[in-house]
Structure 1
């Protein structure tokens, strides 16, 4: 902690300041390519239950795996869309709306 404090004091004492951007310009062509919604990669496979002799219900391992893989695939599609583009679009659109007021 002391090293961080000394480094910070040393930088400000030398007159070195980080450059600030007064107005950040956003490339509208890039924003126009971003999707406004994210769709599912496919339908969730149906679940067929098997009734066991003792009355319990079960599903086949292959069906469970297929359902889990589709859920994971959907989560990854949404995450990639959000981190690559959508979060930036939402931020810029909200920022523009606030600046327009």
Structure 2
């Protein structure tokens, strides 16, 4: 491993972090994930019941087409700049992958 310059402030911060973590009382910590996992394991082994699941948030009914918005924005910008708002050329990715290697404008 190459030698790396470490500042005194970085060393001091690392020492303070290590001291803080070493002085923490881990018995007061609670692992909710572990508890839920143990409940699922018990339920699947037949010795317990599955925990209640949280309700899913309802899906938004409105779907925004970002590409359509972008294309409209570009066309609006071109029309205000005096440039004609032609449809954007499309890239035929299949031809590119198959070795033709050129843009296809339809």
TM-score normalised per structure 1: 0.25
- Answer with 1 or 2: which has the greater Rg: 2
| Bigger fraction of residues in helix | 1
Higher relative contact order (CA 8 A, sep 6+): 1
